[in-house]
């Protein structure tokens, strides 16, 4: 039987212990968007994978799927920069 591990992962550990700790103690003056960015990047990868799967089923064209993914990446980057 295969054992599954449900842990916090590297990005969660980095965010919780290092970045949040440094932000709360005043060692860094980053915005909270950047402090929590390791969590957002992981979520972004999952969302991008889901978009590619859904897009490939809907459009069937790899080029169309990449265009949809590029638009989503630009929107995500714009949201991240506006929060800064």
Is residue 72 a part of any domain in this protein?
yes
Is residue 1 a part of any domain in this protein?
no
Report the number of distinct structural domains present in the chain.
1
Quote the domain boundaries for residue 50: 9-82
Say how far apart CA 21 and CA 70 lie, in whole Å: 34
So what's the pLDDT on residue 67? 78
Is residue 59 a part of any domain in this protein?
yes
Which of left, alpha, beta for 26 (phi over 0: left; psi -120 to 50: alpha)?
Answer: left
So what's the pLDDT on residue 7? 59
Chunked into runs of 10 residues, the chain (84 residues) has average pLDDT values of 63 75 91 80 76 72 75 74 60
Is residue 2 a part of any domain in this protein?
no
Is residue 4 a part of any domain in this protein?
no
So what's the pLDDT on residue 2? 65
Is residue 3 a part of any domain in this protein?
no
């Amino acid at each position: 039987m295969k054992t599954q591990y449900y842990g916090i992962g590297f990005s969660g550990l980095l965010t919780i212990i290092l970045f949040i700790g440094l932000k709360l103690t005043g060692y860094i003056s980053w915005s909270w968007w950047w402090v929590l960015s390791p969590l957002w990047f992981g979520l972004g990868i999952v969302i991008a994978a889901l978009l590619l799967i859904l897009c490939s089923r809907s459009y069937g064209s790899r080029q169309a799927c990449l265009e949809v993914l590029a638009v989503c990446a630009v929107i995500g980057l714009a949201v991240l920069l506006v929060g800064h």
